A = this chain, B = another copy of it.
C-alpha cells in the first residue's frame, strides 16, 4: 500500500528495485539480505531499508528479503498489476518506435492506437496498426477505455495535445516532446527528453576533460 509524500528520489529508485528483483528471481535467488542487495545495486544498505520503510518495510531482521514476495510488493506499489490503455499522438520516429516495442504490453501497458495530423501518414499501417487522424481522437478515446496519453509531437503542438487529453479525462501523460507542460494538479506527467539527456552527457564529457 503506497503512502503519500514519498520523495522523488525514492520513487525514482522503485523501478530499479523492481528490475533487480526480476533479475534475482531469474537467477533462482529466493532470499537476499539488504547488504547483499546493496552490493548488487551499488546503493547503501540503510538507504534500501529506508526506501522500503516508506511503504511499510518488507524485510525481517536477520533474515533479509524474500525475493518473490518483495517483487510482488513492488508490482503492487508500482501498479504493474493493472492494465493501462494508452494512445500515442504523433507518428514520427519516436511514436513509431514506441508502437513497435513489444515489451510494454508484457507489463500491462497496451498501446491501442496512434494518431497524426499529417494526411500523408493517416491511414498508413505501422506494424498492423493504422494511423488515425487526430480529428477522430475524441471519438476514439470516448469509445475506448483510454487512461494514458503519449505525446510524440513537435514541441509547438505538445501543450494543445495535452489540453485535449485533459479535456477527455486522460490524467496520465507520457511526454516525449521537448516542452514543459502546464497541467492541473490531478494530471500526472512523466517527461522523457532525449535532447536534455544528450546535453547532460555532453556536459559530463567536457567536465571530465577540463576542456570547457
CA A157 – CA B190 in complex, angstroms? Answer: 27
**A118 contacts across to B, CB distance below 8 A:** none
- Known A16-B180, A84-B205, A171-B205; further 8 A-B contacts with Cβ < 8 A: A15-B193, A41-B180, A79-B211, A80-B199, A104-B195, A107-B199, A109-B202, A188-B205
**A93 contacts across to B, CB distance below 8 A:** 96-98, 100-101
**A143 contacts across to B, CB distance below 8 A:** none
A15 and B172 form a contact (CB under 8 A): no
Q: Measured between C-beta atoms, what is the minimum distance from A149 to chain B in Å?
A: 11
Q: Measured between C-beta atoms, what is the minimum distance from A24 to chain B in Å?
A: 14
A94 interface hit (Cβ, 8 Å):
yes
A46 interface hit (Cβ, 8 Å):
no
Within 8 A of B (CB), among A39-97: 41-42, 76-80, 82, 84, 93-94, 96-97
B19 and A200 form a contact (CB under 8 A): no
